[in-house]
Amino acid sequence: MAPTQAKHSSQDLLQAQVDLWHHALGFVKSMALKCAMEMQIPNTIQHHGGAMTPSELATAIGLHQSKLPRLRRLMRVLTVSGIFVVHESASADKEAVYGLTPTTCLLVSDEVKSNLFPILSLMLDSTVITPFFGMKSWFHDEDSTSLFKKIHGLTFWEMADQDETYNQLINNAMVSDSNFLMDIILRECSDVFTGISSLVDVAGGLGGAARAIANAFPQIKCTVLDLPHVVADAPTDDHVPFIAGDMFEYIPPANALFLKWIFHDWGDEDCVKILKKCKEAIPSRDAGGKVIIVDMVVGSGPNDIVTRETQVFFDLFIMYLEGIEREEFEWKKIFMEAGFSEYKIISVLGVRSVIELYP
């Protein structure tokens, strides 16, 4: 058999090497972003008028000037990958000037409704990253323990229950995602909420999504259902009441149910159980009953490489806690098994979609 080198041109081989290196070094982008977030670089640049030289940035974040060349190397990675931008310099020494991009603006704490800093902090936390180093042995392990539990000895949710700091990290992440996404959902998918008189946000956490819906549609009576320990920490709200309960046992009746980023935490069997409880809680389709799901439909949405890669990356990522992102045929299977008759996918949320599900 001819050696590999004899089958391909030198340029093909060199490009293949670049592809492999680029793939293997992908973690460098994540760690560079994590470092920049922890050093508060986006906020620092924002608070200094949106443009800073390396020297100014180093001084502002408290770095010794000996670290300046290394800071430039960090920022070069982050500018090449589109996190920051380099502006033309008007100074004689032509020192670079770093500025924010639309991407970085989502990490600036001043922009509360669109600030994704908390959820990125959770995704890049060491407790989440570390389990992936044990993926190979986990695949060979016949035990059904999650990747997270195999490494940490606790499930993701058990750790949150036992560690208040970690629980707060998770809560902040979910709130930031709701604040960001709900504003877009209510702008792009307002028709979904037309004609609804009552709505239960199932497993709605601290009620951010329900409050956003209630504010946008005052005629809808919104309620939040979640576990007792979650409801105990929920803010008092006269307009959005909270009900302590388990969605696997009972869901309060309403015209419509709202489930944002819930199903990807559960396997098919549990999803069918949840959906059957949903079906019991809503009226017929003729009477306006429906379930509104916000989740990922792998393969739906913009047909570009970044979106497609992000969907399958996130599917593998959420495997660490035994979660799953589904393609349309997988969604259809659990919908039909739960006794629903029809659904509609609205793909206007980037990597995620809104699904209207009818009994």
CA 344-348-350 angle, to 5 degrees, is 125
User: Residue 121 and residue 132: Cα distance in Å, rounded?
Assistant: 17
264 is catalytic: yes
From 47, 87, 152, 264, the catalytic residue: 264
CA distances 357 to 2, 62, 208, Å, are 56, 53, 22
Phi, psi of 356 (to 5 degrees): -95, 125
Q: Are 53 and 89 in contact (CB under 8 A)?
A: yes
The catalytic residue positions are: 264
